[in-house]
Amino acid sequence: MILFIDMNSFFATCEQQYNYYLRGRPVGVCVYTGKYGAIIAPSIEAKRFGVKTGMRLNDAMQLCPDLVPLETNSGRYREVHVKIMNVLRKYSGDVIPKSIDEAIVDLQHHKHLYKNLDDMKRLANQIKEDIRGIGDYLKCSIGIAPNAFLAKLASDLQKPDGLSIITPENIDEVLSRLKLTDLPGIADAMSNRLINAGIDTPLKLRYADPAVLKVACQSIVGVYWHYRLNFSEVDLSSNPYKNMQAMRQLSREQRASPESIENIFIALCMKLEKRMVAQGVYCKEFGMNIAYQNGQRWKYSSKNAPIQEGTVIYHTLKAQLDKYAKEHGGKTLLHEGIAGIGINVSDFVTADVLQVELFEDNVKKDHLRKAVYDLKDRFGYDKLMRAMELKEGHSAAYQDLIGFGSIKDMYNEEEWVKNGNKIQNPED
């Protein structure tokens, strides 16, 4: 009774939908279109040349000289995402967006409408037709199965524009054709743990004892694999934010300029402020993680009174960077050897439980921050900025990028809680 809808090469096909000249041509949607820009979404045509997500643009052009590089257009992808969700909600009240390009349609409360697999296949084909009504170049793969995990797995079996079904009758045959790393959520490290425990195929994983799986996976996750492959549901409901992260990999050009690195650092802090304002939460802990090209890392975390201001996060972290430089003879942590920066916030509280300080009106500050971001959303990010953001190149650093796996900020809590008490938040 579960359908998993996976939009094929979503960002790229959105661009091809809006620009007829791009249809049928290999397209690569990039963070930026410089020589070393990373491709975050190759089109179906580009994939046929071996172009993959995460590949540098110069390497992709070697494989596919006719590749058309495009910068992301997050507003466009959000718009199409909302239209697709509206289509799905015509058929079920239980629609759970899992990312910008994936969603679950839970039909367990509609058993009188969809009585058998034939009914569900007709529904899946109708959904495909309705999505083509949004845009005739948009394609999706749909999986049908007894639980969300197997429906996701089924959606991966036939791309693009596929429709696959996993049932108790055919699951062993399906699993027998796959490798462990073909299962969503199993990467090389987890696969190696399972292989070391003598579980080297998905079929063996299904029939392994849960206690053995728990030891092999070194956590309760092993037991979840047993549940998933034996039709129990462990993936439908999800929790509100436990933490937020803003991360950026730096190109060669960005690493070469101290000003560019600083702009990205500021932009990440302000991005987290925006997300906390949107969700109405304050963090009691934040930290920074810097990765270097030589494999080394520098980490720092701080516990504090609940805060929401990105400027406070920035200045606190900057003070730690300056302290490190002072203790190491002026050696800075933000230099040309950097590979990526990540800022994280966690341990959230909401405004209603904050203790108002005696001599400071935090309520006015909260309202001001919210008003600022309402204006930014309405008129554009660069129409209203703090003094620290008025640096050359900062707007480019802040460029609104959307991740395949993070869409919570597009919705408020009321939009998720429908049909009773079921929590229907998307995965972070």
Q: How far apart are CA 228 and CA 23, in angstroms?
A: 38
The residues that are catalytic are 102
172-201 burial, b for 16+ CB within 10 Å, e for fewer?
A: eebbeeeebeebeebeeebbebbeebebee
In this prediction, residue 353 carries a pLDDT of: 62
In this prediction, residue 422 carries a pLDDT of: 37
**Helix, strand, coil percent values for the chain (each to nearest 5):** 45, 20, 35
Domains in the chain: ranges and CATH: 1-166 (3.30.70.270), 169-230 (1.10.150), 243-392 (3.30.1490.100)
DSSP labels for 35-99? TTPBEEEE-HHHHTTT--TT-BHHHHHHH-TT-EEEE--HHHHHHHHHHHHHHHTTT-S-EEEEE
CB 416, CB 424: distance < 8 Å: yes
Q: How far apart are CA 113 and CA 419, in angstroms?
A: 17
Kindly list the distances between the CA atom of residue 131 and the CA atoms of 141, 179, 402, in Å, as whole numbers in the listed order.
11, 32, 21
- Report pTM: 0.68
Q: Is 286 strand, coil or helix?
A: strand
Q: What is the pLDDT along the chain (428 residues), one digit of tens a residue?
A: 899 999 999 999 999 999 999 999 999 998 778 887 889 899 999 999 999 988 889 999 999 999 999 988 888 998 999 999 999 998 888 888 888 899 999 988 887 788 888 899 999 999 999 999 999 999 999 999 999 999 999 999 998 899 999 999 999 999 999 999 999 888 888 899 999 999 999 999 999 999 999 898 888 888 889 999 999 888 776 455 678 888 887 877 788 888 889 989 998 998 898 888 888 888 999 999 998 888 889 999 989 888 888 989 999 999 999 999 999 998 999 988 888 899 999 988 887 666 544 445 555 666 666 666 666 666 655 655 666 555 554 445 445 455 555 555 555 444 444 433 333 333 33
